[in-house]
Amino acid sequence: MHNIPRYCSLDGFTELSHSMDGVALRTLAPFDMVCARTLNNDYFIFMIDPETGKALVQGGRYFEEPIEATISGSTFGGCMLKMGFLGVGLRMEICAGGQRIITSPVKALRIEHSES
């Protein structure tokens, strides 16, 4: 019999995500920027509306130029999504141009707060 890793269950995912380094988007202000380094790329996320996840995103092969997108949240790569949260060790889910992009795992996050 195979054991399912704890983080693959809803309870395990919830428990683990509470102890992760990360940022809840709703705690940010409009015009704050999230700088995310993933395993493969750097992303610059300029928050327009932190409540909805609306942002300008640049980075990686899909966002060579800044594009308006929605930051949905973070996932381990499966179907469970922690809405409105970006976490170290998780993959970001970004929706833009009718496509859903899943990044490689986040290695580091840095927040630059707006001066307004």
Dist CA 67 CA 69 (whole Å): 6
| pTM of the predicted model as reported, rounded to 2 decimal places | 0.82
| Overall size of the chain counted in residues | 116
pLDDT higher for 13 or 30?
A: 30
- What is the predicted pLDDT for the residue at 11? 57
Give the structural domain span for 49: 6-112
Dist CA 14 CA 2 (whole Å): 22
Residue 10 maps to a domain: yes
Nearest to 66 by CA among 48, 84, 52: 48
Residue 41 maps to a domain: yes
Residue 1 maps to a domain: no
Q: Which residue has the tokens 């102890």?
A: 19
- What is the predicted pLDDT for the residue at 81? 84
Q: How many domains does the chain have?
A: 1
pLDDT higher for 8 or 75?
A: 75
User: Could you read off the pLDDT of 57-107 as tens digits, one per residue?
Assistant: 999 999 999 999 999 999 987 677 889 999 999 999 999 999 999 999 999
Q: What does the pLDDT average to over 6-20?
A: 54
Residue 50 maps to a domain: yes
Number of H helices, E strands in the chain: 1, 9
